[in-house]
Structure 1
Amino acid sequence: MKSSYVIALLITLAAAGWMASPYLGGASPGGAEIANALPEPSAPAVKVPMRVQVRNSLAELTNNSLVLTGQTKPSRHATVKAETAARVVAVMAEEGTVVKKNDIIVQLAMNDRKALLEEALALVNQRKIEYTAASKLTSKGYQTQTRLAETKTNLEAAEARLHRIKVEIKHTVVRAPFDGVIESRMVEIGDYLGVGDPVALVIDLDPLIAIAQVSEREIGGVTAGAEGNVRLITGEIVEGRVRYVSSIGSEGTRTFRIELEIENSENRLAAGLTAEISLPVAAVEAHNMSPAALTLDDTGVIGVKVVDADNIVRFHPVALVADGVDGVWVSGLPREAAIITVGQEFVLPGQTVTPVPEGSMSDPAAKVSGSGS
């Protein structure tokens, strides 16, 4: 019985070896048919260049503008101070009052100044009589030159005293130093003022001044007398003229102060407003385009992608020259350029593309896909 088990085992192993023989040895009788049934390897797919939409642009000579941020200020201001000591007895101008030069702001008490004036006038008259008499006597030889000189000195001293009291009286009336506006008043009726105490701040808003700082790289393009535009934070746009350009740059910032003069005859424009100042500089060749065509390179430089004559994408750094309702003007591109207007985000410099005219791709999905995809 033991031998029958061995025979059965041998028969099983032989059957298994026969079944595995096509895989362990040469091709099986059906191998050719199986090989023929497998598909042949296909040829590599041809990569179709991505399509991008371009607009052929020709540079135009464009006025370049220097855009600065500044602030409006009065053309001049003065803190009016008391020039004599006295009490305020009348206020003639409130804060915000428009004043003309020499208009009265406040009136100070005269006190005894009127009496002192009368006394000084009487003394001058007396000294005149004495001097006249001495002159006549001296001419006739009845009086010495010394006495004549003495009477003349006394007369001059009396006249000086009269002048001083007149000035004192004049200073009891505090007046506006120029046409302007009372920005603030520091005194009220009853206040006692000493010499040098502030009375009021007067500002001159006509002309109004727009002040800005210009970098050392750009100051060479700014000249006194140049015309410019000033856009105020209120939305108003006014014309201005450069009246001052600093000759010395700031130690800390290396910038130069400039001032633009703005006509403001009715004091309509206020001081202290944020202002965007545009000054024309040398004209440059620039391209007009939609801001959407602008892009950034890997280093954060702003520029524009174009397609060259070999259909290769090129990146050009650009500078903003001007902006308007019809787009932006930039410099830094070739005079003739095929600007990528759709698809620039999906292509890299050096990549070959298929340019198509602007507006020819109606299907948005096709704008950034290959034509053979």
Structure 2
Amino acid sequence: MALSLRVRGPEGQATLRVEPAASVAEFKALLAEKTGVPAELQEVRGGFPPKLLQFPADAAASVASLGIQSGDSLTVTRLPGSVAAAPAAAAAPAAAGVPAAAAPAAAAASNGHHSLTGLSEDEQLARAIALSLGKAVPDLPAQAPRPAAALPPPQRQRAASPARSHPVSSGSSAAQQGAPTSVPLPDGTVVVRRIIDSDNSCLFNAVGYVTQHSRRLAPQLRQVIADAVLADPLEWNEAVLGKEPADYCRWIKDPSKWGGAIELSILSRHLGREIAAFDIQTLRSDIYGQDAGHSERVMVIYDGLHYDALAVAAYEGAPESLDVTVVPCSGPRCEAVMAGARALTAKAHAARQFTDTANFTLRCGVCQIGLKGEKEAVEHAKATGHTNFSEY
């Protein structure tokens, strides 16, 4: 009986059927057809936690020798250093995340080269659950190879836009095939989504881009947040932070940790600008620092797992060097840009370029019990040790 597999690649998700007796060479050709990743450049991960699939040296060996089973989810990425085909590179950037962009998106394909080392139990489990569902990798530190996927454990304070932690691309991760990336404004300028690397610091680097046109400011901005918390432990207390201020400061300076609403609030105050955060799933736009009397505003966008920057390009396809990232907090220009940003968010929502980690439905591959959302899956895995989930 043919194996039915869920396959996730840089161009999206597909279902693949292959006979167990088929050769590995035939299997890799099918993967190339479904994902756009040439056979010689493929790295394939599966299982839970996700592990690199070891292909035998003999390309005539059968698919059955790989140990995969019908219903498994596989993630296909390009070998490190390989470059996407020219058409993909020429395309306009898609969403982030996880995700990846179409133009700069060759970088997104490297998300699969990661391990779970150094994460908490909850983080390990959540990320592995995400990968088992074929999600793209959200922010993972470049130095420690970790698996493609990333749903942060539920944390009330780590709320991204309004109420969630880390930054999807996927879904997720943010950049998915066909994701809208720009909306024209009446004056000929364009609200555009600028892709931020998935390296666990997307929130900080998105803020760095819209305030200083740099994607390399995460360490400095993490330190800014730690300093602000230590300077006022009464305001930033354990009840707000979810941990003692000193512990929080050590935590937020760790490049593998994600930021959310607390960090956006502190950065808005430090930078003296409002930060508008657009949430693709809920269509909310939360403005941090709105009552602080700031005169300027910057914008970021969140897909459930990942943050990207929003800018105003001089024209469609204009280079980033011409981006305007700071707009007035009020007036016709502000209203026009905010309307464009809302329209872009709505288009991404209509294209389902977000990850709803609270409500997706899962089935345990061991006991076949139905589960709803990441929280139930995490609890079930901890109680039973079952870690093979599929979405239905």
Return the TM-score normalized by structure 2. Answer: 0.21
Between 1 and 2, higher relative CO (CA 8 Å, sep ≥ 6) is seen in 1
More strand by share: 1
Work out which of the two has the higher radius of gyration on C-alpha atoms and give 1 or 2. 1
Return the TM-score normalized by structure 1. Answer: 0.22
